[in-house]
Amino acid sequence: MYPARMDDRGRIKVPAAFKEYLEKFEDKRLFVTSLDRRIAQVYPIVFWKQTEKFLETFSEDPEAAENLAFNAADLGAETEMDAQGRVLFSTELRRELGLEDQPAHLYAFGGHIEVLNQAIYEERKLAATAKPAADRAKLRRAGLK
C-alpha cells in the first residue's frame, strides 16, 4: 500500500516499483477508469483489452457486465505515464471518486493498480481487519501457503 496525492492537474505519481512495472510493457498506453464508481483502476492497455473482452463475453449475468462496462466507458480515459511517473485521471473520474485534494492509497492487484480515496481506504481497512485470523484460516484450507 502506497500513499499518494493527486496534483492540481489531476495526476497521481506512482511509486518507483509501479513505474518500473508499467514501463516493462511494450505498449505504454494505460486505461484509467472505475468499474464500480468507488475505486479507480489503472490498467496497462493490454490488461484493459482482456477486461473488455471478459465483460463482452460474460454470459452468467450480462446486465452486470454491461453495467461495469458502462461505468468504465463513462469515467475512463486512455493516457500514458509521463517521465516522472505521473498518471493523468480524467476530470469526471477524479470528481466522481473524490480524489481531488485528498489523500489516496495505491496498491497492485490483478495486474492493475487500485486507487482508493481516504474514505474507501478506511472502509476497506475496517473490513479487512474485522476477522483476519478467520479469513487466513479459511484461505489456508483452500490452499494458501
pLDDT tens string 33-64:
999 999 999 999 999 999 999 999 999 999 99
pLDDT above 90 for 102: no
pLDDT of residue 136: 94
Class of domain 2-120: alpha beta
Q: Which of the four pLDDT bands, split at 50, 70 and 90, describes residue 74? A: very high
Contact 97, 38 (CB under 8 A): yes
Would the pTM count as exceeding 0.85? yes
CA dihedral (48, 109, 84, 3) positive or negative = positive
Which has the closest alpha carbon to 51: 24, 25, 79, 71? 71
Q: Is the separation of the CB atoms in 99 and 117 below 8 Å?
A: yes
- Report the percent of the chain where pLDDT is more than 90: 97
* pLDDT range class, residue 144, cuts 50, 70, 90: very high
Contact 107, 1 (CB under 8 A): yes
Alpha helix positions (H), 41-131: 45-57, 62-75, 91-96, 118-128
Provide the residue ranges of all domains of the chain, joining segments of one domain with +: 2-120
Residue 80 has pLDDT above 90, yes or no: yes
Confidence grade of residue 122 (pLDDT, cut at 50, 70, 90): very high
For residue 112, name the pLDDT band (cuts at 50, 70, 90): very high
